Amino acid sequence: MTSTARVLGVDPGAARIGLALSDEIGCMAHPLRTLRGGSEAENARAIAEVVREKSCPTVILGLPRNMNGTYGPAAEKSRSLAAALQPLTEARVILWDERLTTAAATRRLQEAGRNSREQRSVIDQAAAVQILQDWLDAQSV
């Protein structure tokens, strides 16, 4: 990816929504912030505001899948959030497979010496980083 536009990564959850932002050249994902989850409409508006604030032409929204590839209730919530977000922004909203991203993020935080209490405040951002980095890496293949 050779663009100078940043991409927003989103790890949607029931209680919190993790956000990550790519660097200007689209190589590395970095944690941005965690939003407290609200209604779907509130969440979509909050994400759209970040898209505007950071001038992101693309949003990568995590789509949870079961290990066998099927979709469950969490995936339907992600699809519904994407549908609520799309009319609020001109950014392209892409649903991206997020299998094992929270587990990978937890492992990385533990390796960095963070205990489970310390992880709570950043795990959603770390998962958003993993989702976005996976997407960025797939674009450079």
* pLDDT above 90: residue 39: yes
Domain-by-domain residue ranges, the chain?
7-139
Tell me if residue 21 falls in helix, strand or coil. strand
State the pLDDT at residue 105: 61
The model's pTM: 0.85
23, pLDDT greater than 60: yes
What is the average pLDDT score of the chain?
Answer: 87
Q: Which CATH superfamily is domain 7-139 in?
A: YqgF/RNase H-like domain (3.30.420.140)
The pLDDT, as a whole number, for residue 61 is 98
Task: For residues 139 and 92, give the distance between their C-alpha atoms in angstroms, rounded to a whole number.
Answer: 15
Query: What HEC string does 30-64 produce?
Result: EEEEEEECCCHHHHHHHHHHHHHHHCCCEEEEEEC
pLDDT digits (tens, 9 = 90+) for 55-84: 999 999 999 887 787 888 889 999 999 999
C-alpha to C-alpha distance for 34 and 113, rounded to whole angstroms: 20
